[in-house]
Amino acid sequence: MGINHAPDGDGELVVVALGGNTLLGEHGPWTIDEQRAAIEEAARHVVGAIRAGYRVVLTHGNGPQVGNLLLQQENAPDTPQLPLDVLVAETQAQIGYLLQQALDNELATETDFVTVVTQVVVDPSDPAFERPTKPVGPFYTEADARERPFETRRVTSGDRPYRRVVPSPAPTAIVEADEIQRLVDRGDRVVCAGGGGVPVIREGCLRGVEAVVDKDSASRLLAAEIGATSLVILTDVDHAYVNYGEPDERPLREVDPDELRRHLDRGEFGEGSMRPKVEACLRFVEAGGELAAITAPTNLEDGLCGEAGTRVTD
């Protein structure tokens, strides 16, 4: 209480988005020990960037975590079922807690990390609401799927090919952007916009909706709203590739928006995986951001100031 800690100086402000595997570990079954180990590893790289002078704001995904909560609900039909927006908020706290602890342990200073439960505004007339595309939660048989009180779709083959699908509308504003900005200006270290943020519509008042906002898209919007110079998306590959998975695959290193857009338009990047990352990077740089990078956590620092990863600059 009352400690008036000095801000971290005026280091460059960077939004770093942590992907699923940086939070869970690669293989599963994702016990809490595995999660802690993965998060501690990610924390070491984030702290490396902070020690190098960057002011880091962290965001993160939540796909498997929110999926597990949905599964837990399904298996506990006697308890009240919570809507998806509430579950997203739960995962922000869950993952934020683990990140805060690992980061505070790694960087023992008087400034602790804080997690901000973050709402993200979406447009109720977004066409995504008419066309739910994002699979979430458990897999069902055809008979099970028909009984569910929500929309399901066949998304794979095998015995249980159905999953719940929800809309993935574009984020239009970060509700807590000003508060996050003030924390950052004071020198606080913030984890926010987890799982792409809790999707809300603003019609007079704020109201949560059953949807999932893409975390790369929300991270891009956050970076723009708080005036970050760079956006770094950390995932389980060290680069975005062209001809990905083919014998002649080629990592993209330094790339300008025009070239990257050509690869995007040719369909080089996986829907729902690499494509939203590339789109977020393009949009960030085209709107005046200095650098957007896609790489693995071990390359965070070199992605920012060296030669690692896919680095998009104008």
Residues binding ligand ADP (CB under 6 A):
19-21, 61, 235-237, 240-241, 244, 268-270, 273-274
**Minimum CB distance to ligand ADP, residue 86 (Å):** 22
- Cβ proximity to ligand ADP: between 136 and 145 the closer is 136
- Cβ proximity to ligand ADP: between 228 and 237 the closer is 237
- Mark 111-140 with x for binding to Mg ion (rule: CB under 5 A) and - for no binding: ------------------------------
- Mark 170-189 with x for binding to Mg ion (rule: CB under 5 A) and - for no binding: --------------------
Which residues form the catalytic set? 20-21, 134, 215, 277
Which one of 6-14, 18-26, 133-141, 152-160 is the stretch in contact with Mg ion (CB under 5 A)?
18-26
Q: Choose the one of Mg ion, ligand ADP, none that binds residue 133, judging by a C-beta under 5 to 8 angstroms depending on kind.
A: none
**Minimum CB distance to ligand ADP, residue 18 (Å):** 8
**Minimum CB distance to Mg ion, residue 19 (Å):** 6
- Cβ proximity to Mg ion: between 190 and 237 the closer is 237
Strand partners, 97: none
**Minimum CB distance to ligand ADP, residue 243 (Å):** 8
Q: Furthest-apart CA pair in the chain: how many Å?
A: 60
d(CA 227, CA 225): 6
Q: Choose the one of ligand ADP, Mg ion, none that binds residue 268, judging by a C-beta under 5 to 8 angstroms depending on kind.
A: ligand ADP
136 and 164 in contact (C-beta within 8 Å)? yes
Strand partners, 292: 231, 312
> Which residues, in sequence order, are CB contacts of 122 under 8 Å at separation 6+?
169, 170, 171, 172, 199, 200, 201, 209, 211, 213
- Cβ proximity to ligand ADP: between 217 and 235 the closer is 235
**Nearest-CA neighbor of 277 among 252, 301, 299?**
252
- Cβ proximity to ligand ADP: between 140 and 241 the closer is 241
d(CA 223, CA 13): 9
Burial of 91 (0-12, 13-18, 19+ CB in 10 A): buried
The reply on whether position 20 binds Mg ion by CB under 5 A is: yes
**Minimum CB distance to ligand ADP, residue 237 (Å):** 4
- Cβ proximity to ligand ADP: between 68 and 111 the closer is 68
Q: Residue 271 is which amino acid?
A: E
The one-character DSSP state at 109 is S
The reply on whether position 197 binds Mg ion by CB under 5 A is: no
Q: What angle do CA 94, 95, 100 make, to 5 degrees?
A: 105
d(CA 206, CA 172): 14
**Minimum CB distance to ligand ADP, residue 146 (Å):** 29
Segment (H or E) for 64? helix 63-74
242 and 252 in contact (C-beta within 8 Å)? yes
Q: Choose the one of Mg ion, ligand ADP, none that binds residue 300, judging by a C-beta under 5 to 8 angstroms depending on kind.
A: none
Q: Choose the one of ligand ADP, Mg ion, none that binds residue 73, judging by a C-beta under 5 to 8 angstroms depending on kind.
A: none
